[in-house]
Structure 1
Amino acid sequence: MAYATIAAMQKRFGERELIYLSEREDAPADVINTAVIEQAITDASDMINGYLAGRYELPLVTVPNLLEQFCCDIARYKLGTNDTPEHIETRYKDAVKFLNSVAKGELSIGVNALGEDAKVQDTATIQSAGTVFSREKSKGFI
């Protein structure tokens, strides 16, 4: 199961960049080579699954938007050449760092182990030890 689509890649990086990155000798010029982009998305999704496999049941029932973003970033990095811009490499490294933390159990992707939306259980509760000042405790001052 892929965590992103060509449309998601195009929305994030633009058509012109995807045409440039997917250009191959045996393909028509000035169009997105969908086979190349789909392969990069598949490779990125497989990489993500490698990090998630120990903690989540795959395929995920609910795919968080964060995984789509990371899938696009990883696929974009893998499509790059030796002249990959620094910000693309930084986004790739950030994605891998996050996925490492998920694999270690330090962070969560926002779904439970079955891949369903996690129920938030971090509600705040306030407890009081009672009143400090009251008529009964003040003994004549009030």
Structure 2
Amino acid sequence: MYAAVSDMTSRFEEAELVQVTDQDGTGAIVEAVVLAAISDATTEINTYAGRKYAPAALLAAMPPMLTNVCCDIARYELFKRKGEMPQVVQDAYNAAIKWLKNLADGTTVLDVGGIEVAPAVNTIQTAPSIVACMRDKYRGL
């Protein structure tokens, strides 16, 4: 995962995280709920970033920008589960998705410390036509 619970608590108010995770009224952040949101965010990031970078390599490099984006998406997921969406959370999510789309299409480049860009997944390799090869081989006979 591109973020940890500690990343969420350092970026967002504790009261906010309690509000969106504590369904039992304990007054504490429910880490399992935060981790589920981070996992969902990581999956969403991989759908975009995976077009250019191998997810395992990204996890090894752990670029700080991915942690930021992951936290914004996870925060959005937490509020979505709660059924409410503050505009600031929606705006941060929209900005994160826009950045990921730019990453996927190559407009934005991620500093990953020398990790090679993944080859395009949707490519098709073709071989020369057998008929063309035969025609060239037997030309002039």
Q: Is the 8 A contact 1:70 1:95 kept in 2?
A: yes
Q: Which ranges in structure 2 are unaligned for 5 or more consecutive residues?
A: 118-141
In the TM superposition, what is the alpha-carbon distance from 1:113 to its structure 2 partner?
4.5
Structure with higher Rg: it is 1
Identical aligned pairs, as a percentage?
34
Residue matched to 1:89: 90
CA distance in structure 2 between the aligned counterparts of 1:84 and 1:11, rounded to whole angstroms: 21
Secondary structure (helix, strand or coil) at the match of 1:92 reads helix
CA distance in structure 2 between the aligned counterparts of 1:83 and 1:46, rounded to whole angstroms: 22
Give the 5 Å matches for 1:108-127: 108-111=109-112, 112-114=114-116
Q: Is the 8 A contact 1:22 1:36 kept in 2?
A: yes
1:31 paired with 2:28, answer yes
Cα deviation, 1:8-56, whole Å, max 9, x if unaligned, reads 100111221111110224xx51111111000000000110011011111
CA distance in structure 1 between the aligned counterparts of 2:74 and 2:55, rounded to whole angstroms: 20
In the TM superposition, what is the alpha-carbon distance from 1:82 to its structure 2 partner?
3.9
Residue matched to 1:131: none
In the TM superposition, what is the alpha-carbon distance from 1:75 to its structure 2 partner?
0.5
In the TM superposition, what is the alpha-carbon distance from 1:114 to its structure 2 partner?
3.3
The one-letter code of the counterpart of 2:77 is K
CA distance in structure 2 between the aligned counterparts of 1:96 and 1:58, rounded to whole angstroms: 17
Residue matched to 2:46: 49
Give the 5 Å matches for 1:1-142: 2-25=1-24, 29-59=26-56, 60=58, 61-80=60-79, 81-111=82-112, 112-114=114-116
Q: Which ranges in structure 1 are unaligned for 5 or more consecutive residues?
A: 116-142
Secondary structure (helix, strand or coil) at the match of 1:24 reads coil
CA distance in structure 1 between the aligned counterparts of 2:20 and 2:116, rounded to whole angstroms: 35
Cα deviation, 1:66-120, whole Å, max 9, x if unaligned, reads 11011000000111144321111111000000100110111111124437xxxxx
TM-score by length of 1: 0.73
The one-letter code of the counterpart of 2:14 is E
CA RMSD of aligned residues (A): 1.6
Give the length in aligned residue pairs: 112
CA distance in structure 1 between the aligned counterparts of 2:42 and 2:3, rounded to whole angstroms: 8
The one-letter code of the counterpart of 2:32 is A
